[in-house]
C-alpha cells in the first residue's frame, strides 16, 4: 500500500468546531478612540502635535531633521543625555550584585562541546 494514495483518499476533518452560524456585523465603528491603557485617556490633536512632544533618542520635533540639515548639530544639542535618578545606561553602572558572573571551567567546557561533556 502506498502511503500517498491512502492520504489522498482520506477525508480531512478540521480539529476546530465552530458553534452556531457565522454572523458578520452589519456596521463596525472605526472612529479613533484612545487606548484603554492610555495615561491621559485622550487622543492627540494631530500627528504634528504628537511628534513635537515625542522623544526617540532625543526630541523629534527639532528643525535639525529637515531636508539637508541632518548632522549639522552635535548630538549633545538634541537634549540631555544624563540618566534620571534610578536609571542606568549600562549594566556596569549597576551595583555589583547585578553584574554578570564569570563562567566556570565546567560551563566553558559545556559551551564548547555543545553540552556533550555534561553526559560523557
Residue 99 cell numbers, joined: 553584574
Helix (H, G, I), strand (E, B) or coil at 82: coil
More confident residue, 48 or 94: 94
Look at the pTM and tell me if it is higher than 0.95: no
Q: Tell which residue, 51, 47, 83, 80, has the closest CA to residue 65.
A: 51
Place of cell 526630541: 59
Tallying the residues shown for the chain, one arrives at 120
For residues 85 and 83, give the distance between their C-alpha atoms in angstroms, rounded to a whole number. Answer: 7
pLDDT at 75 over 60: yes
Q: Where are the domains positioned within the chain?
A: 88-119
What's the whole-number mean pLDDT along residues 68-87? 74
pLDDT band at residue 103 under the 50/70/90 scheme: very high
**What pLDDT does residue 5 have?**
67
CB proximity list for 55: less than 8 A, separation 6 or greater: 79
Q: What confidence score (pLDDT) does residue 47 get?
A: 81
Amino acid at each position: 500500500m502506498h502511503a500517498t494514495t491512502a492520504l489522498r483518499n482520506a477525508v480531512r476533518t478540521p480539529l476546530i468546531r465552530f458553534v452556531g452560524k457565522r454572523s458578520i456585523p452589519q456596521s463596525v465603528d472605526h472612529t479613533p478612540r484612545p487606548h484603554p491603557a492610555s495615561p491621559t485617556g485622550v487622543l492627540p490633536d494631530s500627528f504634528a502635535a504628537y511628534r513635537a512632544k515625542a522623544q526617540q533618542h532625543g526630541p523629534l520635533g527639532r528643525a535639525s531633521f529637515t531636508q539637508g540639515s541632518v548632522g549639522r548639530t552635535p548630538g549633545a544639542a538634541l537634549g540631555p543625555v544624563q540618566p534620571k535618578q534610578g536609571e542606568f545606561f549600562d549594566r556596569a553602572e549597576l551595583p555589583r550584585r547585578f553584574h554578570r558572573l564569570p563562567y566556570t571551567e565546567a560551563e566553558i567546557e559545556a559551551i564548547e562541546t555543545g553540552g556533550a561533556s555534561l553526559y560523557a
